[in-house]
Amino acid sequence: MITRDEFRAEATAFLEANAKRRVEATQEWGQGSDEVSIFPERTPEEDAAMLAEAKEWRAKVYDAGFGWISGPEAYGGRGLPREYERVWQGLESDYDVPSIGPFGIGLGMVAPTILAHAVEDVKQRYLPAMYRGDTVACQLFSEPVAGSDLAGIQTKAIRDGDEWILNGQKVWTSGAHYSDIGEIITRTTTFEESRHRGLTMFLVDMRAPGVEVRPLRQMTGGASFNEVFFTDVRIPDEMRLGDVDQGWTVALTTLMNERMAIGGGGVGGGMNLANRLRALARHLGAADDPHVRQQIAEVMIRLSVNRYTTLRAMAKMRAGQLPGPELSTLKLGLTNNMQQMSELLTSLLGPRLIADTDEWGTYAWSAFVLSVPGMRVAGGTDEVLRNIVGERVLGLPKG
Ligand SMILES: Cc1cc2nc3c(=O)[nH]c(=O)nc-3n(C[C@H](O)[C@H](O)[C@H](O)COP(=O)(O)OP(=O)(O)OC[C@H]3O[C@@H](n4cnc5c(N)ncnc54)[C@H](O)[C@@H]3O)c2cc1C
């Protein structure tokens, strides 16, 4: 097996040949982009251009052997230990490369679920294509009456020979407008004694007749999520993930990976943003204020705690165990940190947070601050995650 040093050298050579080193905003104030948004404000044309650029980069990375470093070779992975993924991520973050955003849900949540629950043909068809960036996936779980209480979903799938017929509506589907496939949870049977039984998971072709995607505009101005309507959509039975009526178990695989993907630093709020926050405090002459220093130190410490919690969860997975409540603490830790950053930014920037004066690196933070409430809801709300930690870690009675 290639050693870590050899791998690091190979990855560095690839990045040097194919990408430019990032101009670090913390080193030179006013240099490079000052965008810090989590839910970008793009027009449909900008979305399409961003996707094309991201796909081109992803294909290059995959073809060079860095697209699915720890994945099984049978499905296009490289079969190396998970630590090598982190080596790659650390190296890649020093270069100015297209955002992984459009692939976040597909690779962070849907692909691990396909690997765990799909039939062989479906794994062969989708996994290499997803990791290469050719196929983009979304998550179709939430409905108007079912979010935290996911077992309350009403979208129905009825069997018709070798196919299923789907009717219903999903909401808040991030990236549905540019996705090729979606992982959808449906109700197939009603059991009086348990709402968690009788659910079945499928992969649905987002371009199949009867699928209609309508954008939802958020308060940051962009429209990164959607409502999706299904009218008599036909799904071949081979696209089922897991057994009929056992979709809850499949959903747990996805949700576990979602908390890992969000809390483990796959989404905004990482060290890069904290460094920008430090640079802002210096720029505003507040870096010597002991109160500001204390708050920035807390943000940095919490990020380190999250990093170690991620490593603990990964060590558990390596040992063949399922990570449990640590994934909930991971996501809670991330959003608490973002909230704290938000409060500090608000007091540091004052009116500059709401009035665009064209000053680099100031008003741009408003997009971050407006994104934080959404982050506290997506992938399990703060309250629901606190319930999980209270019950499963602290042993408190059920809420
Ligand atoms: C940015 C973003 C992206 C998203 N992307 C997707 C996506 O791609 N696919 C998808 O399927 N969904 C997506 N969602 C939806 C998300 O999963 C739901 O919003 C979330 O599960 C909460 O559900 P809800 O909005 O129905 O709120 P509700 O569940 O109705 O909650 C409303 C309030 O009640 C509280 N609450 C609910 N139950 C309890 C309880 N038992 N104890 C204490 N408090 C409780 C909640 O904390 C919240 O404050 C996204 C959401 C956001 C914000």
Ligand 1 neighbour 377 (Cβ under 6 A): yes
Please check whether residues 241 and 296 belong to one and the same domain.
no
Strand partners, 225: 174, 216
Ligand 1 neighbour 37 (Cβ under 6 A): no
Does residue 144 belong to any structural domain of this protein?
yes
Residue pointed to by tokens 């968690």: 196
Please check whether residues 283 and 379 belong to one and the same domain.
yes
Does residue 131 belong to any structural domain of this protein?
no
Please check whether residues 58 and 93 belong to one and the same domain.
yes
Q: How far is the CA of 259 from the centre of ligand 1 (A)?
A: 13
Does residue 23 belong to any structural domain of this protein?
yes
Does residue 259 belong to any structural domain of this protein?
no
Residue at a domain's end among 99, 119, 147: 99
CA-to-CA distance for 226 and 136, rounded, in angstroms? 15
Q: How far is the CA of 173 from the centre of ligand 1 (A)?
A: 12
- Helix (H, G, I), strand (E, B), or coil: what is residue 174? strand
How many domains, the chain?
A: 3
Cβ–Cβ under 8 Å, residues 198 and 246: no
User: Which pTM does this prediction carry?
Assistant: 0.91
Beta-strand runs (E) in 61-119: 95-96
Please check whether residues 154 and 228 belong to one and the same domain.
yes
Residue at a domain's end among 99, 128, 158: 99
Ligand 1 neighbour 387 (Cβ under 6 A): yes
User: The domain spanning residue 182 has which CATH number?
Assistant: 2.40.110.10
Please check whether residues 236 and 284 belong to one and the same domain.
no
Does residue 306 belong to any structural domain of this protein?
yes
User: What pLDDT is recorded for position 373?
Assistant: 93
- The torsion of the CA quartet 286, 288, 294, 299, rounded to 10 degrees, works out to 60
State how beta strands 181-187 and 137-140 pair: parallel
Ligand 1 neighbour 106 (Cβ under 6 A): no
Please check whether residues 283 and 341 belong to one and the same domain.
yes
User: What pLDDT is recorded for position 327?
Assistant: 82
Please check whether residues 236 and 274 belong to one and the same domain.
no
User: The domain spanning residue 350 has which CATH number?
Assistant: 1.20.140.10
Please check whether residues 324 and 215 belong to one and the same domain.
no
Does residue 22 belong to any structural domain of this protein?
yes
Please check whether residues 385 and 275 belong to one and the same domain.
yes
Cβ–Cβ under 8 Å, residues 268 and 378: no
User: What pLDDT is recorded for position 323?
Assistant: 73
- The Cα-based distances of 111 to 69, 85, 138 in angstroms read 14, 16, 10
Please check whether residues 80 and 168 belong to one and the same domain.
no
Residue at a domain's end among 44, 75, 99: 99
Please check whether residues 155 and 208 belong to one and the same domain.
yes
User: What pLDDT is recorded for position 287?
Assistant: 94
Ligand 1 neighbour 169 (Cβ under 6 A): no
Does residue 109 belong to any structural domain of this protein?
no
pLDDT (tens digit, 0 to 9) for every residue of the chain, 399 residues total? 999 999 999 999 999 999 999 866 455 788 888 888 888 778 888 889 999 999 999 999 999 999 999 999 999 999 999 889 989 988 998 898 998 889 999 999 999 999 999 999 999 999 999 999 999 999 999 999 999 999 999 999 999 999 999 999 999 999 999 999 999 999 999 998 889 999 999 999 999 999 999 999 888 778 888 999 999 999 999 999 999 999 999 999 998 888 777 766 544 457 788 888 999 999 999 999 999 999 999 999 998 888 888 888 878 877 878 777 888 888 898 899 999 999 999 999 999 999 999 999 999 999 999 999 999 998 889 999 999 899 988 999 987
Residues 6+ apart with CB under 8 A from 231: 167, 210, 212
Please check whether residues 282 and 385 belong to one and the same domain.
yes
Q: Whose CA is nearest to atom 24 of ligand 1?
A: 147
User: What pLDDT is recorded for position 50?
Assistant: 92
Q: Looking at this protein, which amino acid is placed at residue 109?
A: M
User: What pLDDT is recorded for position 263?
Assistant: 62
Residue 25, domain extent: 4-99
Q: How far is the CA of 238 from the centre of ligand 1 (A)?
A: 30
Q: How far is the CA of 388 from the centre of ligand 1 (A)?
A: 15
